Structure 1
């Protein structure tokens, strides 16, 4: 049996968390180990915990590092400590599961010991699992575009949100894209919040027609930034702030100030540079946008889009049941051929 060093005990707040095989290489391209990942999450623990607190969370685990096999753990592990709560979530199929709900930095480091690199929290809290309290907007650069294009679009998105009385928090996805999370009152369903994202995306598309698309079908997107509205569908999640991404260079999803968006690159933020940044400036999203917004204005615009422009719903992901008012899930070229 291969040994990867003696277990390591980390003090996280008032708890001690055991890290096994700390010397196992997790990022061969950088020579970084499981210890480096655990100590990263210890260093940014307060920020990571804020992003996850009381949210049902899927763990994306890489027990042997980024070059090994990985899997998404949606159900709480059997060895879950009693001090980490869970919540029951309902999948689109109607099945349910108990998911981990991290509440503090110790829970984050505990999950890191399981080989968790990326945390995928639902946009809900454990006490209201069917009512999102975050409207999440994913700006996904299509082939021929990149992060700089997403950054320009994000600044236009900020203006669109402001016109609807909303405030968003930007962060890198850890890859080529940008995420903007908008705190909202937990008064609407997944269907309604997804509809709001579509409406915001369409308004952004009207203002930036050469740069933005809401077309679900790839053949229609062109070299534009796609507003991936289906990331707001039930059981769709995005990487949380501070999550490590399965990138050879251990890039992380970095919270940003709006004034930084135009000047940064995803490569600026990895498990070492983010530790330094956090020690210097702390969690830049802490205390921002704490007053949750409301969606009445956006949903009124959605009604106008239907009435005045004939713009209804858009296709759901393939694994979702057929939804009321949803158009056919057939890509345009195949429908035309038929």
Structure 2
């Protein structure tokens, strides 16, 4: 697999073993190619990960091999990479790595990390998210163009409810993510409630194009606003993260004016370094802002009071939450003579 190489990353030396190991067979991209990609965009991805508990999506033998999520800090992690103690919905806890230096990203790439999944919190306050993350997920029969239309309306909704500003990025697939920096004074439950309110408002404005239906059988050919990506321990791939698809795409930060004409396939580990060298991190100013969620939480309260729209189902591995409807697939509930919406 070739002799080990050493990479200088912002003054730290990171040793890379088996640099010629192929990670993306279709194009022959190697572990070294991935590490050099992260070296090239290190300031940008560190901005997205800095001080955040981060789950690593690891592919030690490339995308055709076995893979796993590394939630606990890997053994042998250097002492210059700090950790944060986080608690999962199950009640279990772990210490997760929290990158504070560019070299931490390349160090993780040495162990086959392709995608970085940061929590929406900082290590000095792991109970209060500082980002509202909206995941616009195309369902079968829809594509990036449909996500773009939803994102345009989403931008208007955010502005109308609290003057919020979102920073968009490609998912690395067909979807779009929009991140809103917020004041870290709300709980995970409240932030999820705000995400549901955003989704329902989009649904009202674009009923044929957008849905918040949790059950796939009810979504149809619409963009799903995945509100559960804001639940505790649910994470979204960071900006600049490599995605495990044959052409090695990356989650690309965009300016709003780029969203309609962007082509997600154009952003990969070979093209993003040049874009980064020319334009820098187009989301560099995100950390200069922190918005309030009061208007969205007021909207959620009105939805419940005036329209009877309460909570929505959590993912199946979560404990039953107060006010949550039954987690029963609607078709199964109907077959059993139950009301699918009953709590």
TM-score bin, normalised by smaller chain: over 0.9
Q: Distance in 1 between matches of 2:44 and 2:14?
A: 18
Q: Distance in 1 between matches of 2:5 and 2:210?
A: 48
Structure 2 equivalent of residue 51 of structure 1? 48
Would you identify which runs of 4 or more consecutive aligned residues in structure 1 move more than 2 Å?
none
Instruction: Indicate if the aligned counterparts of 2:120 and 2:131 stay in contact, CA closer than 8 A.
Output: yes
Instruction: Indicate if the aligned counterparts of 1:169 and 1:289 stay in contact, CA closer than 8 A.
Output: no
Structure 1, unpaired ranges of 5+: none
Structure 2, unpaired ranges of 5+: 337-343
Shift of 1:69: 0.8
Instruction: Indicate if the aligned counterparts of 1:313 and 1:327 stay in contact, CA closer than 8 A.
Output: yes
Q: Distance in 2 between matches of 1:92 and 1:270?
A: 34
Among candidates 328, 332, 335, match of residue 334 of structure 1? 332
Aligned: 1:107 with 2:104: yes
Aligned: 1:304 with 2:299: no
Structure 2 equivalent of residue 156 of structure 1? 153
Q: Map Cα deviations across residues 187-228 of structure 1 (whole Å, 9 max, x no partner).
A: 000000000000000011111111100011111111100000
Shift of 1:290: 2.3
Structure 2 length normalisation: TM-score?
0.97
Q: CA RMSD in A?
A: 0.7
Structure 1 equivalent of residue 29 of structure 2? 32
Structure 1 equivalent of residue 16 of structure 2? 19
Aligned: 1:274 with 2:265: no
> SS of the counterpart of 2:260?
helix
Structure 2 equivalent of residue 218 of structure 1? 216
Counting matched residue pairs gives 335
Aligned: 1:6 with 2:3: yes
Instruction: Indicate if the aligned counterparts of 2:181 and 2:286 stay in contact, CA closer than 8 A.
Output: no
> SS of the counterpart of 1:255?
coil
Q: How does 1:120-269 map to 2 (within 5 A)?
A: 120-164=117-161, 165-269=163-267
Structure 1 length normalisation: TM-score?
0.98
Q: Map Cα deviations across residues 222-270 of structure 1 (whole Å, 9 max, x no partner).
A: 1100000001111100100000000000000000000000101210100
Shift of 1:288: 3.8
Q: Map Cα deviations across residues 45-80 of structure 1 (whole Å, 9 max, x no partner).
A: 000100000000000011111111111100001101
Q: Distance in 2 between matches of 1:105 and 1:79?
A: 18
Q: Distance in 1 between matches of 2:287 and 2:148?
A: 20
Q: Distance in 1 between matches of 2:13 and 2:287?
A: 33
User: Mean alpha-carbon deviation: is it higher for 287-296 or for 104-113?
Assistant: 287-296
